[in-house]
Structure 1
């Protein structure tokens, strides 16, 4: 039986590897480490299908070291210790450490991660972890301190087009056919930047066509996928599409739709902590100052899930989902930090005004650090007008209150103090 197209096209070396030029391109950090033959432990963080597993295998091949792999879904502490013992027995003096690749490392428990520490620290293995989740949430601090985190990006359009062209011209089976990519928009759209999904879709479409002369159009791709919905997503659950619909339903103030998408994730076996983290982000990004209690409730939900677990945790998620979807919305805080960051990039490191500087030494006091600062609590209403921004930014608008009752009250209070500064 023939291997799947995605497996047949798996790159064997860095020259065949598509994308991630910021990591493996000429003079990039991972490329330099690999070329020098001195790779330390690291974690690859990025969406599915961008080459995390492939990159780990290429590194082991190029360094010519044993490659052990574990999946966090079905491996326990015992499995980890067995691999470490095997690595010790095969390690000889002055040889490079074997590579231990752990897929979905964010699913490892604290005990499983603890069992890795000694082997990583003393060099028994070089750990390469792969995760689709932010490692700072799920990977224990001692392990994070021993492993650099590298971020992989979704493949760009030019990368995906290059992969399609390589598939139809170099694959041992496809090159025997006369395949014409007349249209590629549907292929790219349904793949969502996932190389493996792109090749799976391509293979599905080609296998459904008769004869060796095949013309691929957007209409054909869409029709084939509608006939085979499970063929282009693991388990038939469109993980990223559904979480997107969930968040957009909350943002759009539709609690019924939000609960429906929540149910789809619960029924599909989604990690409840993944959902809870998205609720925390949504509370800050989409509800924000219109209802600050939303963030408190979302954070409490995340904590409660750790204590209650499943299946009762679904009730906690449902309560918070309805609350967030029903809350007034504001993204003024989200916009303000992005505007402030853009301002920092544009203006650079502007000096802190002298009156705002700390003066812990006599010399600093002599240089007038803090001299003109006015202590707000010494004045009526605990406020006195003074400049807090760098002189170059005086009069700039960074935060704009939005039209909701909570921010209207904030705006009214601030304008009483600042005389209509906030519009």
Structure 2
């Protein structure tokens, strides 16, 4: 028999400093950030910080996850900003008030950021498809180049690499191809 998630989650057995269920505070923080409700999200973060060092540490983990899971391409700098604020906060000892500024700013950034959940949706689709449908990755032909055993056995060298294996998409429009062209010219001179 599978043990229900709530019986496995230690936060279901913790109450916050103001006697709120910690698991509900954690859940509400993420849901309020998803909806851009800054004031209540900040209050929830503050509740976590006041409660304990452990709940504060877990809050920072959630903020980092939220920056990728819920914000994603909406603000690609969010993970960098949240990590920077996390690093800054760690220089201030608990329970010094200035320490809490960094988390509040992190909440504000996440609440105001545009959001998209593409990474989480892709991960969950993959996990489900691998488990339920046996989905496996494919090795495309263009990956068989001079860096692989099969590519070497096929005689694929640097020219195949530059013409096929090193293609990028989407490619920057009007990029400088000076050195690519020079390299190709040198490779063609080797033949």
TM-score between both structures, scaled by the size of structure 1: 0.33
* Shift in Å, 1:358: 3.8
**Match runs of 1:263-274 below 5 Å:** 263-271=46-54, 272-274=56-58
Unaligned 5+ segments in structure 1 are 1-18, 21-154, 158-191, 199-231, 383-423
Is the Cα–Cα contact under 8 Å of residues 11 and 22 in structure 2 kept in the other structure? no
Which residues of structure 2 form unaligned runs of 5+?
A: 176-191
1:367 aligns with 2:154: yes
Q: Trace 1:141-156 onto structure 2 (pairs within 5 A).
A: 155-156=3-4
Q: Structure 1 or 2: larger helix share?
A: 2
Between the aligned partners of 2:11 and 2:151, the Cα distance in structure 1 is: 61
Distance in 1, Cα, partners of 2:172 & 2:137:
29
Counting strand residues as a fraction of each chain, which structure ranks higher? 1
- The answer to whether structure 1 residue 324 and structure 2 residue 110 are counterparts is yes
1:201-232 C-alpha deviation (Å, 9 max, x unpaired):
xxxxxxxxxxxxxxxxxxxxxxxxxxxxxxx7
Query: 8 Å contact 1:273–1:302 — kept in the other structure?
Result: no
Counterparts of 1:225-374 in structure 2 under 5 Å? 233-234=14-15, 236-271=19-54, 272-310=56-94, 311=96, 312-345=98-131, 346-360=133-147, 364-367=151-154, 371=160, 373-374=164-165
Alignment map for 1:378-389 (pairs within 5 Å) = 381=174
Q: Is the 8 A contact 2:146 2:152 kept in 1?
A: yes
Alpha-carbon distance in 2 for matches of 1:315, 1:330: 26
Conserved? CA contact 1:354–1:368, under 8 Å? no
Q: Distance in 1 between matches of 2:8 and 2:62?
A: 21
For the aligned residue pairs, the C-alpha RMSD in angstroms reads 3.6
Kindly tell me: are residues 259 and 338 of structure 1, through their superposed partners in 2, closer, same or farther at Cα, counting changes over 3 Å?
Answer: same
Paired with 1:197 and 1:360, the residues of 2 have a C-alpha distance of: 48
What are the superposed Cα offsets for residues 296-343 of structure 1, whole Å, 9 maximum, x if unpaired? 111112222222233222010011111111111110122123323444
Instruction: Work out the CA distance in 1 between the residues paired with 2:128 and 2:122.
Output: 10
Q: Structure 1 270/295 Cα, relative in aligned 2: closer, same or farther at 3 Å?
A: same
- For the pair shown, the structure with the greater C-alpha radius of gyration is 1
Structure 2 CA distance for partners of 1:357 and 1:341, relative to 1, 3 Å: farther
Task: Give TM-score, length-normalised by structure 2.
Answer: 0.68
8 A Cα contact 1:242 1:261, kept in partner: yes
CA displacement, residues 262-312 of structure 1 (integer Å, 9 cap, x when unaligned): 222223235322211110001111111011121111111222222223322
Distance change (3 Å), C-alpha of 1:270 and 1:355: same
Secondary structure in structure 1 of the residue aligned to 2:90: helix
Counterpart contact for 1:247–1:282, Cα < 8 Å: yes
Which secondary structure state, in structure 2, belongs to the residue aligned with residue 373 of structure 1?
Answer: helix
Change (3 A) 1:375 1:331: same
Partner of 1:149: none
Work out the CA distance in 1 between the residues paired with 2:113 and 2:122. Answer: 20
